[in-house]
Amino acid sequence: MAALSTLGFHHITMVSSDARRTLHFYRAILGLGLVKRTVNFDDPKSYHLYFGDEKGSPGTLLTFFEWPGQPRGRPGIGGVHHLAMGVADEAGLLKWKRRLTDLGIPVTGPKNRGYFMSLYFTDPDGQILEIATAGPGYAIDEPADGLGQSVVYPAPSQLSGSVESAEFESRTHPEPVAAITPDMRLSGIHHISGITGDLGLAHEFYTDTLGLSRVKQSVNQDDGRIPHHFWANYDGHSVRPQSALTLFGWPPSYHYAVGGVGQTHHIAFRATDVDEQRAWREKLVTQGLSVSPVMDRTYFQSIYFHAPDGLLLEIATDGPGFAVDEPVAHLGEQLALPAWLEPDREKIEKALVAL
């Protein structure tokens, strides 16, 4: 059998303190679809919301557990620093800047990150978010068929504090943007950036274990002392969208991530089907990892394990998908429950705050 290699991200799961506020932010402000309104299967007293494209395609999914009254966490080693969502180009990015700014949401950028242009802001719980353009891509400073082979440094003009970067950051869209236009469409997970205390070990894990390839060895453009490496599904010619995981390499003495509100709970990678997932599970176990049994999440099947520095990871199957219990045109409109929770529907609905 060919070596296993994940196609990329299936979903990212974050923690919200207030499902209603989160729904407003991601659906009304960012324009994502609510593709499933359900409860945490391991704790049915609280919501689990899934946002994504019209069908809830893998790679577009942002999901939230609601943990009301819980403290905020903070990024650190073994955690995720930020989530980037994709937009087609700079014109769309600038419209987002104008829209968010006009809504009173503080925005940093756009910044020219070389491989893409980026805008930064946070959600109401403090989760750091980025919107990044699709291009120009990773081949701007090394050959497309030789990405990630050696260390490359950003152009001085890209670095924070340069005249060019200040000029770049002053750009915005000239008119108010009241409604989201088609060119602003957010295309799912552009990249996820985490923090590790051991880049070498992380490299071994994401390549040997998950089958990704390192596509960039660079430095943090806001702090050149910190290495910043990128891994993705890469066939030697092109980098697959919705597959780029980046890690900042912190000194191991720095602080660890604290889970909680405003942080990422876990990241899920794709397995195309249950057979591939079974192969993944065997491989992970053979490599000595502690892996959960296969869990039935109704919309996909999941296995869970940890990256070397503690980050919780999942491998989720592409199917059966979100139309398994409601029509595609009506995804997310009603509270959906798995069969084993259906007998408790009335009790569960009573305990939840209406959205």
How far lies 151's CA from each of 186, 228, 247, 318, in Å? 31, 10, 14, 35
User: What letter does residue 28 receive in the DSSP assignment?
Assistant: I
CA–CA distance, 121 with 109 (Å, rounded to integer): 9
Q: Which of residues 197-216 bind Fe ion (CB under 5 A)?
A: none
CA–CA distance, 146 with 102 (Å, rounded to integer): 42
193 part of the interface to Fe ion, by CB under 5 A: yes
> Which residues contact residue 208 at a Cβ distance below 8 angstroms, ignoring those fewer than 6 apart?
287
Nearer to Fe ion among residue 33 and residue 58 (C-beta): 58
Q: Segment near Fe ion (CB under 5 A), from 79-87, 147-155, 170-178, 340-348?
A: 79-87
Nearer to Fe ion among residue 117 and residue 268 (C-beta): 268
SS3 category, 23: helix
13 part of the interface to Fe ion, by CB under 5 A: yes
> Which residues contact residue 354 at a Cβ distance below 8 angstroms, ignoring those fewer than 6 apart?
none
x/- string (CB under 5 A) for Fe ion, residues 114-143?
Answer: ----------------x-------------
- Least distance between Fe ion and beta carbon 217 (Å): 16
- Least distance between Fe ion and beta carbon 130 (Å): 5
List the structure tokens of 67.
């943990």
Tell me the number of residues near Fe ion by CB under 5 A: 6
Q: Which of residues 247-276 bind Fe ion (CB under 5 A)?
A: 268
84 part of the interface to Fe ion, by CB under 5 A: yes
> Which residues contact residue 32 at a Cβ distance below 8 angstroms, ignoring those fewer than 6 apart?
26, 51, 52, 62, 186
Nearer to Fe ion among residue 225 and residue 237 (C-beta): 225
**47 touches 334 (CB < 8 A):** no
Please pick, from the candidates 50, 314, 322, 332, the single residue that binds Fe ion as defined by CB under 5 A.
Answer: 314
- Least distance between Fe ion and beta carbon 303 (Å): 10
Nearer to Fe ion among residue 143 and residue 224 (C-beta): 224
Judged by the rule CB under 5 A, the positions of this chain that interact with Fe ion are 13, 84, 130, 193, 268, 314
